[in-house]
């Protein structure tokens, strides 16, 4: 239940022009008049042009992203915050929304502080007459109070009307500036071209970028009027992109005009150098500075309370009373009166600081975080391709990705320390909001679409690029079907070991029966329990359920099911309980079915005692295991890679007759020396089978206490009458993995 009705487009009827004028009057603001002369003189023409271009490489993709997202769904009050929260979810949206709001509220202070610079002649006169400097706050604080009263008493409508007047004054001042002549009449433009056209003081580039970047952030100012627009989907793209591109052109022209009109020393030393260049400059430039700073301050005074109001409407803050008060609106248009009071107080605090450059750097970091987030939203929506994302205005994913990466890079170039602190602050705010809003969409939901698309494309790519199995490095892609998942967890552990690092495992819990509403409900409940268990074990095993009338039909379905890993499934793992040897019968009945698909087969015989990891894995190789040997060794090493076995050792026993001992040993040495076996002779023990002892007795004697014993078997054995006895003939050994390879594996 919402606390109060949000301002909607139906409540008022502004068109595109207010968005454009709010953006352009903020873009062409204080930094243009006060700092671009210094930037051009310090960095040179090409350095200043690079500064403008880099700034717009961040703001243009952001403007495109805002325009795109704004045409995808209905945009209500809250501007950029609404776009972020409805795309990223309320948790991350509220987190970024708080930093966005602070940057907007602080921007009010920044532009009012800059407004006082228009009165520099007055301050100079005062100092000359009275012998002491007059603090800037004598102008800035009354100005803030007057603007606040205008907004609080008259609302947004009066602010928009004032924007039109201010924009005319700004346009006149710029026309006079471009009509002006070089300040030194004895020199022509060619002289200044020779001295100013270069790239100087490169080490100061990012310091100046941090100071000048607020000049470009105004392009999103008009978005804050979203709740007061008749058609936000139309007005936001047109107004935002129009303001951004117009600002880019004007900034390039201003840098050129400054570079050809004044010497480097004057550009650096005189922050109002434009007044010496412009026609009637002593009058129009201070008026233009006053107009643009007032318009920018007025613009942020209108949008920052709306961001705060939208945050409160979404119950972002942990205090219910605070949310109610800040969300409350005044009048038919629901003007954010209470939110405006809070914004004014924050602005006054920073006005008392009075340092333009310091406040500019703070704003830059906040805005870079916001713009990077908006570009990331756009990129993820492009990459994730959710069906609900159908914007009428379309950007390109590489613009959005570039804007995001540039934002992060520039933040680190400006100040690694401040960047780290900013992101720590963001994380802390997110965790705080998450604690109080557990039911809202969070970070996990942001990347689902992107992960889905990446997974889909990787699957298709792997399928298209798949080569013949014999040409690939073999790795297991195993499937296991069992009806005893909740009673036996050893086979789940085995699958977990096999899929930990080198392979992929899919485990199906078999529910015997026909597909129905009841069996489906049962399958989902079992699946939930199994996934919860595997979470505790940090398993990478993929688990699912399968409803099928019989064990055989379940196996037939499973071996034809595509693997979600992108690989073809190449192994089937059967399991039975050593205390119930009769279970082996139905396994043997289905081996032929599995072999028809050329699958490797593993039959896991689980014992009752827990696994004794410290005793290691024993692999038994016989002369009949020529096909199975390499697969058995590979499985041993793959299982040993899991942390459960980190303190274990692998031991290989090679059984041979006495007359074959030397030949078998020599063959193993050759294979080890050629690198075809990833083992050393210390891992191998040559075992001669005594004449009075069976193989099962020999294995039982040596591997009685092993953590896992791996034994090979031939396909022909399945058809033999003694098959049942073979798989149940090791009563004193722990867990056993019987292995049969469809093809011999190469170990390179």
Q: What pLDDT sits at residue 79?
A: 65
Six token digits for residue 429:
């705010």
Q: Are 406 and 54 in contact (CB under 8 A)?
A: yes
Cα 585 from chain centroid?
A: 51
pLDDT of residue 184: 67
Alpha-carbon dihedral 487, 491, 493, 498, rounded to 10 degrees = -160
pLDDT under 70: residue ranges of the chain: 1-14, 70, 72-79, 87-88, 154-163, 184-194, 218, 220-228, 233, 333, 354, 356, 383-390, 436-457, 459-473, 536-537, 564-566, 658-661, 664, 668-681, 720-721, 747-748
pLDDT of residue 4: 42
- Can you read off the two tokens belonging to residue 313? 């409407």
Over the stretch 94-121, which tens digit does the pLDDT of each residue have? 888 888 888 888 888 888 888 887 787 7
Distance separating alpha carbons of residues 441 and 383, to the nearest angstrom: 19
pLDDT tens column, 662-706 = 776 777 666 666 555 556 667 788 888 777 888 888 898 889 899
- Each residue of 177-206: b (16+ CB within 10 Å) or e? beebebbeeeeeeeebeeebeeeeeeeebb
pLDDT at 668: 67
User: Which residue, among 13, 35, 108, has the nearest Cα to 270 in the 3D structure?
Assistant: 35
Mean pLDDT of the chain: 80
pTM: 0.61
The predicted pLDDT at position 388 comes to 58
Residues 6+ apart with CB under 8 A from 653: 618, 619, 620, 621, 684, 685, 687, 699, 702, 703
pLDDT for res 3: 44
CA distance 7 to 310: 9
pLDDT value for 9: 39
Tokens of 376: 């990331």
């Amino acid at each position: 239940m919402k606390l109060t009705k949000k301002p909607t487009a139906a409540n008022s009827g502004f068109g595109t022009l207010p968005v454009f004028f709010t953006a352009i009057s903020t873009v062409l603001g204080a930094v243009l008049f006060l700092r671009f002369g210094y930037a051009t003189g310090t960095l040179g023409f090409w350095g200043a042009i690079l500064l403008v271009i880099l700034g717009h490489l961040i703001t243009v993709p952001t403007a495109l992203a805002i325009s795109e997202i704004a045409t995808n769904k209905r945009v209500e009050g809250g501007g950029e915050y609404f776009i972020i929260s409805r795309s990223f979810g309320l948790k991350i949206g509220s987190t970024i929304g708080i930093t966005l709001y602070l940057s907007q509220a602080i921007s009010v202070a920044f532009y009012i502080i800059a407004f006082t610079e228009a009165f520099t002649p007055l301050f100079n006169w005062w100092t000359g007459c009275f012998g002491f400097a007059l603090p800037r706050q004598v102008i800035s604080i009354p100005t803030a109070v007057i603007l606040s009263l205008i907004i609080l008493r008259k609302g947004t409508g009066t602010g928009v009307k004032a924007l039109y007047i201010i924009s005319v004054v700004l346009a006149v001042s710029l026309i006079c500036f471009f009509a002006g002549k070089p300040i030194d009449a004895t020199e022509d433009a060619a002289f200044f071209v020779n001295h100013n056209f270069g790239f100087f003081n490169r080490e100061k580039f990012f310091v100046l970028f941090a100071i000048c970047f607020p000049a470009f952030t105004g392009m999103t100012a008009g978005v804050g009027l979203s709740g007061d627009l008749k058609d936000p989907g139309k007005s936001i793209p047109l107004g935002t992109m129009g303001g951004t591109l117009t600002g880019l052109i004007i900034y390039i022209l201003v840098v050129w005009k400054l570079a050809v009109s004044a010497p480097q020393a004057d550009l650096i030393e005189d922050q109002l150098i434009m007044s010496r260049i412009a026609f009637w400059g002593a009058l129009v430039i201070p008026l233009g500075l006053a107009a643009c700073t007032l318009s920018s301050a007025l613009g942020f005074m209108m949008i920052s309370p709306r961001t705060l109001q939208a945050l409160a409407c979404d119950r972002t803050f942990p205090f219910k009373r605070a949310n109610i008060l800040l969300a409350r609106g005044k009048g038919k248009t629901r003007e954010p009166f209470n939110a405006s009071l809070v914004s004014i107080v924050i602005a006054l605090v920073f006005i008392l600081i009075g340092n333009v450059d310091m406040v500019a750097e703070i704003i830059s970091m906040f805005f870079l975080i916001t713009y990077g987030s908006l570009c990331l939203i756009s990129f993820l929506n492009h990459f994730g391709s959710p069906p609900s994302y159908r914007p009428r205005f379309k950007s390109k994913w590489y613009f959005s990705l570039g804007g995001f990466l540039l934002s992060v890079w520039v933040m680190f170039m400006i100040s690694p320390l401040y960047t780290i602190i900013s992101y720590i602050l963001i994380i802390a705010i997110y965790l705080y909001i998450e604690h109080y809003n557990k039911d809202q969409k969070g970070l996990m939901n942001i990347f689902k679409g992107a992960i889905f698309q990446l997974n889909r494309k990787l699957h298709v790519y792997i399928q298209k690029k798949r080569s013949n199995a014999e040409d690939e490095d073999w790795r297991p892609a195993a499937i296991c079907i069992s009806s005893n998942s909740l009673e036996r967890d050893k086979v789940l552990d085995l699958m977990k070991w096999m899929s930990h690092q080198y392979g992929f495992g899919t485990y199906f819990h078999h529910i015997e029966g026909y597909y129905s509403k009841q069996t489906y409900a049962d399958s989902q409940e079992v699946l939930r329990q199994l996934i919860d268990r595997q979470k505790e074990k940090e398993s990478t095993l993929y688990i699912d359920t399968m409803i099928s009338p019989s064990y055989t039909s379940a196996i037939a379905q499973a071996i034809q099911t595509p693997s979600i890993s992108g690989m073809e499934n190449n192994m089937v793992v059967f399991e039975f309980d050593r205390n119930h040897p009769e279970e082996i019968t139905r396994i043997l009945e289905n081996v032929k079915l599995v072999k028809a698909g050329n699958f490797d087969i593993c039959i896991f015989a689980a014992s009752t005692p827990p696994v004794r990891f410290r005793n290691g894995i024993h692999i038994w190789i016989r002369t009949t295991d020529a096909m199975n040997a390499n697969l058995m060794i590979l499985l041993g090493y793959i299982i040993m890679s899991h942390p459960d076995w980190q303190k274990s050792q692998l031991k290989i026993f090679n059984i041979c007759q006495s007359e074959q001992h030397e030949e078998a040993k020599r063959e193993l040495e050759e294979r080890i020396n050629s690198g075809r076996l990833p083992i050393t002779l210390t891992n191998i023990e040559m075992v001669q089978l005594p004449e009075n002892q069976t193989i099962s007795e020999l294995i039982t004697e040596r591997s009685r206490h092993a953590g896992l014993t791996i034994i090979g078997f031939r396909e022909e054995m399945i058809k033999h009458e003694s098959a049942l006895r073979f798989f149940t003939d090791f009563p004193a050994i722990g867990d056993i993995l019987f292995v049969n390879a469809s093809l011999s594996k190469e170990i390179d």
